[in-house]
Structure formats: structure tokens, C-alpha cells
Amino acid sequence: MKKSIYAVSLLAGSLLFTGCTSNSQPSNTNEGSGKAVDQKQEETKSAAKVPVKGQITMDDVNQMEKVVFVESIGWIFEHSPWIAEKAYEKRPFASLDELHSQMQKIVESASEEEKLNLLRAHPDLGARVKMAEASVSEQKGAGLDQLNEQEYKEFLALNKEYTEKFGFPFIIAVKGHNKDSIRAALKERIKNTREQEMNEALQQVYKISKFRLEDTIKK
């Protein structure tokens, strides 16, 4: 029996709050409607400034307003736009490699708590939960959306053992891997010390973000 995988970390979720107000006086209602239209127009105008993924150039990156910069590349580090927000201050970037290097340095200089939050933002591999769109595509490419019931249970048990030992999910750049090589790496890395594994997990995060950046910015 197969089930589909969808996507956000077991350890990180999101809430959407909506609300509305009403006023019985016609003049105030019309005024509120006008403000709502103006706000919608501004949002549309702002959204139009965000270049299409894969068509962004380094010139675009260096000329972006901060909000557009974060919207365009803030997602390459899983649910951690704060890295892009800090990287924005380092512009201009001579190349994609320099941009990624600056973002990596920001993570390296972050506190241990910030690093842990970054690691914990990643989804368990092979988990049948909602996750970020990029993670869905990456896991699908490695065949993790095609686990049979036995394979799924094995990944679930290994992920649980790993997370309980280290305090964050197993992370690997799945590009070039398949479910068998990923499972083998997971079994091997469980043997590491926490310090070794935290360093290795961050190296994998850097690889993942580099792959994503290369898919986003054309050379």
C-alpha cells in the first residue's frame, strides 16, 4: 500500500490568521473598501517586481529592493529567510558563488540556537507530512515518494532514532542519491557524535542551498 508524501517539518509548522471588521456607517464602509483596494493594488505591484525563478540574473539580485531579494532567494535555506535578510547588506555580489559564500558565512557566525532552528526546519526524509515545495520536489527526485510500507516504516524508525539522539532531523542533499543510498547514509551517520553530526548536517544544508540557488539564478 503506497501513500503520497506532501510537505513542512514535523518540528515546524505555520498558522494562518484571518479576520474582518465591519461598520454599519456607509461612509466608513466605503472608505475601508477603498483602502482595501489600494492595499491590493500595492501588493500586486510589489509581487510584479519579483523575477521568475530560473530567469533571475546577478544584476537583478544586486538591484533588488530588500523585500524582493528575500522573497526571491530567502527560501533556499529551509524556512529561514533571516539568512537572506542579513545577506542583503553584503551586496553587491560578483557572482552566485560569492552570494552563497556570504550566506554560508552568516550561518557559520550564527548562534548555536539559530543553527539548530535552521536544522530543525528541515523535514524528515520519507515522512508523509506537509513540507516546503522545494523539499517535495527534491524528495520525489530521490524516489522517497515511492516507499512501500516496509520501507516507510524503516525510514520512520531510523529518523526517530536519529532525531532522539541528535535533537534535529537527518539532513542530506538528495541530488544524485536514491532511497537506498540515503538509507545507507542515515544508518552510518547515526554512529557519529553530536558534534560530528551537527557539522555534517550543516555541510549538507550548504549543499542543498547551493543547488537551490543554482536553480534560481541563471549564470
**Positions marked catalytic:** 122
Question: What's 90's DSSP letter?
Answer: G
Q: Which three cell numbers stand for residue 56?
A: 533571475
Q: Annotate 110-131 with three-state secondary structure.
A: CCHHHHHHHHHCCCCCCCCCCE
User: Coil, strand or helix: which one is 204?
Assistant: helix
Distance (Å, rounded) from C-alpha 128 to C-alpha 124? 9
CB contact at 8 A, 114 and 106: no
Handedness of CA 128, 129, 133, 134 (dihedral sign): negative
Distance (Å, rounded) from C-alpha 211 to C-alpha 35? 41
* Other C-beta atoms lying within 10 Å of the C-beta of residue 13: 10
